[in-house]
Structure 1
Amino acid sequence: MLKELHTASLGMLNTQTRLEVTANNIANADTKGYKRASVFERNLIDSKASLFNHPGKLEQDDPPVGSYIDWSTRGGYHHTDNPLDLAIDGSGFFVTRNASGDKFLTRDGSFKLTPDGFIATYDGKYLMGTDDDAIRIPDYMNIDGSDGTTKKTAVNIVVSATGDVLANDVAIGTVQIVDCENYSQLTRIERQSFIADVDAGVKQVAEDMVNIKQGWLENSNVDIITEMVTMIELQRAFEAGSKVIQTNDNTLERSISTSRFGYY
């Protein structure tokens, strides 16, 4: 009977993780550049050994499943007419940097101009150029005051397919695009931003291999219908596992009561 309880509990741990991953995918179906997460099953024997606190590859509290990111399926693209919306046609990532100097990789190419002329993400990370410095419109060029600055002559920003950035026909830098040899060494720290482990093998993509679409954004690769169907199936599986545990618990309770009655 204890065996059935442990088997059911392992199944519910599996289902719970799948539910969490699926719910997160649904929540980010409209997030630009988001890559859906999937779930893989670890070795069931190792998982059960961990549950019994036996030595093994997993920690005792680790669930019998893990998640990975679906890099193979690319999201579609949609046109925005915004010159600071960029999409990578192919593999690779934009490189951004926060005020502390930490670098991040992202497929989300929705950028804006800051009041001091930097091209940045909407949460304030600077877009990096191939010179490993933030791309910035020089002081002698005027910026459209859409975010509170004084409205002057608007800057005409053009980003070529190879990433060259021109403002009012003046070259100011080249967008840095990088790719990784080992995608499994990327850790998602936000919905669409990643940090790379030292073993990720991050390398700058050669300019002639870069293909950037200005005025476009990459959609999430989440299929909302598939995720909703999966969610319903998982909820039913979780309920079934809960009923198995409840049934075995009731049976065990009756057995204990019977044993006590017979003893006395």
Structure 2
Amino acid sequence: MVRSLWSAATGMNAQQTNVDTIANNLANVNTTGFKAQGAQFKSLLYQNLNTVTTTANGDPKPTTSQVGLGVRTAALTQYFSQGSLLDNPSTSAVAISGDGFFSYNDADGRQVFTRNGDFIWAIGDPDGESLVLTTSDGNPVLNTEGEEIRLENGEVSNKITIGIDGTIYYPDEDGVPQEVGHRIGLWQFQNPGGLERLGSTSWAVSAASGPAMNEAENEDLTSSILRQGYLEGSNVNVATEMVNLIVAQRAYEMNSTAITTTDSMMQTANQLKR
């Protein structure tokens, strides 16, 4: 009966992780570019109750005598399904339709990837004559060459347009959009689920994800489409998460009941001598 105490305790710990994951998903339901996670579980080792593999007559037994020792969290799976495209009044807001990721360099110089296209045209020098496309945290967004996107001809930010392939345009004297020599970079991965999560909407390359593949240099990739004036919303499904939360709560309660039942049985056994 002590075995059941530990098995139920592992179940409660696992369901607590499940509830934590669901709560984080619900908390980020309005976070731009957020990708939901799901807890995956696996059973612990099984204990042999009877190691004899034959009957008294020497015939093989059709079944084994093993009992499980509980459960543990195996992984937190990341789901990179497409989020809804939400209208945004900012001309520097860009949403990705497809499998691509934006990229920028963080404060440590590491290349980071994101689906959050809530960008800003920031002043790039003290004289205010250049503009740099940055994230909301001030990190310069990279172009297809892996360099920052800087405009140095006195452009006005609200006149800049972005094509569906990421090409940046600015109108000439006749108001006709002309290329300025920059294209927003997009990268894909063989296994995006293996990316190392750095924050709610940022990831880094890992051995499990494989190297970043530049869409502009790899013709085998299906190119993503960019939508100016839109942002990709979270892919969290509130109804699904609420159902999962109820299931996790019930599983937690059942494991708690198993502990209470085992404790009651042990008390009964201890009272037999009286």
Q: TM-score, normalised by structure 2?
A: 0.77
Aligned to 2:3: 3
Aligned to 2:103: 95
Q: Deviations over 1:47-98 (max 9, x none)?
A: x68xxxxxxxxxxxx9333211112x31111121321111111111001112
Write the mapping of 1:91-240 to structure 2, written as runs, cut at 5 A.
Answer: 91-116=99-124, 117-138=131-152, 140-142=153-155, 155-168=158-171, 169=178, 171-199=180-208, 200-206=210-216, 209-240=223-254
AA of the residue aligned to 2:10: L
User: Does the residue aligned with 1:114 lie in a helix, a strand or coil?
Assistant: strand
Contact kept? 2:11, 2:72, Cα under 8 Å: no
Contact kept? 1:14, 1:64, Cα under 8 Å: yes
Matched residue pairs, number? Answer: 234
Contact kept? 1:136, 1:172, Cα under 8 Å: no
Unaligned runs of 5+ in 1: 50-61, 144-153
Contact kept? 2:90, 2:229, Cα under 8 Å: yes
Aligned to 1:241: 255
Comparing 156-165 with 116-125, which one deviates more in the overlay? 116-125
Q: 2:87 aligns with which of 79, 84, 89?
A: 79
CA distance in 1, matches of 2:244, 2:106: 36
Contact kept? 1:10, 1:64, Cα under 8 Å: no
User: Does the residue aligned with 2:35 lie in a helix, a strand or coil?
Assistant: coil
Comparing 205-214 with 106-115, which one deviates more in the overlay? 205-214
1:213–1:142 CA distance, 2 compared to 1 (3 A): closer
Structure 1 segments of 4+ aligned residues over 6 angstroms from their partners: none
CA distance in 1, matches of 2:193, 2:29: 22
Q: CA deviation at 1:206?
A: 2.6
CA distance in 2, matches of 1:77, 1:41: 32
CA distance in 1, matches of 2:244, 2:256: 18
Contact kept? 2:168, 2:181, Cα under 8 Å: yes
Q: In percent, how many aligned pairs have the same letter?
A: 26
Q: TM-score, normalised by structure 1?
A: 0.80
User: Does the residue aligned with 1:127 lie in a helix, a strand or coil?
Assistant: coil
RMSD between aligned alpha carbons? 2.3
Aligned to 1:15: 15
Contact kept? 2:185, 2:216, Cα under 8 Å: no
CA distance in 2, matches of 1:142, 1:174: 16
CA distance in 2, matches of 1:16, 1:131: 44
AA of the residue aligned to 2:200: R
Q: CA deviation at 1:137?
A: 2.2
Aligned to 1:147: none
1:79–1:64 CA distance, 2 compared to 1 (3 A): closer
Unaligned runs of 5+ in 2: 48-70, 125-130, 172-177
Aligned to 1:26: 26
User: Does the residue aligned with 1:176 lie in a helix, a strand or coil?
Assistant: coil
Between Structure 1 and Structure 2, the one with more helix by share is 1
